[in-house]
Chains A and B, each alone.
Chain A
Amino acid sequence: QVQLQESGPGLVKSSQTLSLSCTVSGASLSSGIYYWNWVRQHPGKGLEWLGSIYYSGTTSYNPSLTSRITVSLDTSKNQFSLNLSSVTAADTAVYYCAAQSLGEFFFDYWGRGTLVTVSS
């Protein structure tokens, strides 16, 4: 069973960079079986796909965030990370990491999510 766990600061100051990590167990990031994704949910709103990374390092980003987002891998720790720069209150959300099987269009496994609040 694949399990994912998000970690990182729960409070980030406006204009700074939000940094989160997702630790994966039950699967190797290097296996090539999954794409590794970040998704967020604003309070009381729908979810928003942020971006993804494949073991090769190939990334795909939501067009609305391309200038601010970076997703990276650390295969030695079996982790992948999200960096979102120049944050504002609009980036306050619950952030989820999720695994998506290669060639499929759904998310097989999710983390429980972590709330990040952007303060002024």
Chain B
Amino acid sequence: QSALTQPASVSGSPGQSITISCTGTSSDVGGHDYVSWYQQHPGKAPRLIIFDVSNRPSGVSNRFSGSKSGNTASLTISGLQAEDEADYFCTSYSTNSPYVFGAGTKVTVL
């Protein structure tokens, strides 16, 4: 059981937009603006794509965006491309841990 809840899989066609949710509690997602998102292709190292809820590191496509409402954070990928097919996981600073993670969401481009 992961501390943060993500859907196991999300799929979309090229050009579409998809959203991945990440639900926690008031001790983590809801209580701090320190949610980050990572992309991981098979056999590769995870790559930071969103930090502090909605900020993109230099070099990350603006097709990736993040937001938060209450205890749920979201990652939206717009203009879905074949190269976006990967696993995505969220993490949040937590009052208790100090970091908690989601189990990851597999994104499939149809």
- On A, residues with C-beta under 8 Å from B are 4, 39, 44-49, 60, 62-63, 96, 98, 104-113
Q: Is the CB of A106 within 8 A of B34?
A: yes
- On B, residues with C-beta under 8 Å from A are 1-4, 32, 34, 36, 38, 43-48, 51-52, 57, 89, 91, 93, 97-104
Name the residue among A49, A105, A111 with the largest chain B CB count within 10 angstroms: A105
- Nearest A residue to B3 via CB reads A46
Question: Which residues of the partner chain A approach B99 to less than 8 Å between Cβ atoms?
Answer: 49, 105
In the docked arrangement, what's the CA distance between A82 and B76, Å? Answer: 35
Q: Is the CB of B89 within 8 A of A49?
A: no
Q: How far is the CB of B4 from chain A (nearest CB, A)?
A: 7
Q: How far is the CB of A64 from chain B (nearest CB, A)?
A: 9
In the docked arrangement, what's the CA distance between A104 and B46, Å? Answer: 17
- Nearest A residue to B93 via CB reads A105
Q: Is the CB of A46 within 8 A of B103?
A: yes
Q: How far is the CB of A58 from chain B (nearest CB, A)?
A: 14
In the docked arrangement, what's the CA distance between A96 and B100, Å? Answer: 15
Q: Is the CB of B45 within 8 A of A47?
A: no
Listed A/B pairs (24) with beta-carbon separation below 8 Å: A4-B45, A45-B103, A46-B3, A46-B4, A46-B101, A46-B104, A47-B2, A47-B101, A47-B103, A48-B101, A49-B98, A49-B99, A49-B101, A105-B32, A105-B51, A105-B52, A106-B34, A106-B36, A106-B91, A107-B38, A110-B46, A111-B45, A112-B44, A113-B45
Label chain A's interface by main secondary structure.
Answer: loop
Question: Which residues of the partner chain A approach B3 to less than 8 Å between Cβ atoms?
Answer: 46
In the docked arrangement, what's the CA distance between A96 and B52, Å? Answer: 22
Q: Is the CB of B93 within 8 A of A45?
A: no
Q: Is the CB of B45 within 8 A of A110?
A: yes
In the docked arrangement, what's the CA distance between A112 and B42, Å? Answer: 10
Q: Is the CB of A106 within 8 A of B51?
A: yes
Contact among B45, B52, B97 with A112 in the assembled complex (CB-CB below 8 Å) = B45
Q: Is the CB of B91 within 8 A of A47?
A: yes
- Nearest B residue to A3 via CB reads B45
- Nearest A residue to B6 via CB reads A46
